[in-house]
Structure 1
């Protein structure tokens, strides 16, 4: 599906998404038109889903990150759908993942400090529907958070 040129374009763009099309083409040694066509083809194929900014939450004053492992009360047929729909409405939830196994859902929560986290937890998280059990994991350090693929 991807050839060597596609991989070179993706590797370079993953390393620096701020490159202009001309800079990207120059970095991989092809014409701007060829690079643009390849990128458009990969976007059309869903390989490239979009370009986004990475925001450093700590620089904006969010010093606390908590991972909540949640087990749902699955006696209700729509427990997953209703829980996830409600969790999406909590602004401080930055990630929602679902799992097979004892834990059904993992939420990542950011907060300015522990008082702010306690407010979010008591008034926004504990009011989410169908929660049977919650385990909180306080993040101490992020060792690796790589979005780039090894191409």
Structure 2
């Protein structure tokens, strides 16, 4: 269970994960040793899962993002597993989500342009196993994309 000190450390850490322990400790109002010990504990407990680089794929030339809502042929017992395994192998699929309801999965797919997306759709997406229905939603704008939690 997290206490107020843990939450204070996390609040500052999520905004500046590259800060050194002493700078983070100063912002959180704790000693460097306390900060380091608590960060290590939260990493071991899985509260802090990773530190990673967030790359702007548009800066790398990917201008198109499409959400694909997919319904699988659930008469096949391994439909989900086989579909997910195959979708993971498509580099342009940057996110896979599963759902309960009419739609089974959602894929986020990026492409350099519409011609590239059309090629991906035909050669990599439509060849994924067990697709019963697919609906494409073209992203127009990302209004909010924030992983910061209200701590």
Verify: 1:3 aligned to 2:27, yes or no: no
Aligned to 2:65: 65
Q: Distance in 2 between matches of 1:20 and 1:69?
A: 42
Aligned to 2:132: 132
Between 59-68 and 19-28, the greater mean CA deviation after superposition: 19-28
Between 26-35 and 120-129, the greater mean CA deviation after superposition: 26-35
Q: What are the ranges of 5 or more consecutive residues in structure 1 without an aligned counterpart?
A: none
User: 1:51 aligns to what SS in structure 2?
Assistant: coil
Q: What are the ranges of 5 or more consecutive residues in structure 2 without an aligned counterpart?
A: none
Aligned to 1:113: 113
Verify: 1:13 aligned to 2:13, yes or no: yes
Deviation at 1:148, TM superposition (A): 1.0
User: 1:35 aligns to what SS in structure 2?
Assistant: helix
Structure 1 runs, 4 residues or longer, greater than 6 Å off: none
Q: How large is the Cα RMSD of the aligned pairs?
A: 0.6
Aligned to 1:47: 47
- TM-score, length-scaled by structure 1: 0.98
Aligned to 2:86: 86
Deviation at 1:14, TM superposition (A): 0.8
Per-residue deviation, residues 102-150 of structure 1 (Å, max 9, x unmatched)? 1000000001100111111000000000000000000000000110111
| Count, aligned residues | 151
Deviation at 1:48, TM superposition (A): 0.6
Aligned to 2:97: 97
Aligned to 1:32: 32
Deviation at 1:20, TM superposition (A): 1.2
Deviation at 1:30, TM superposition (A): 1.4
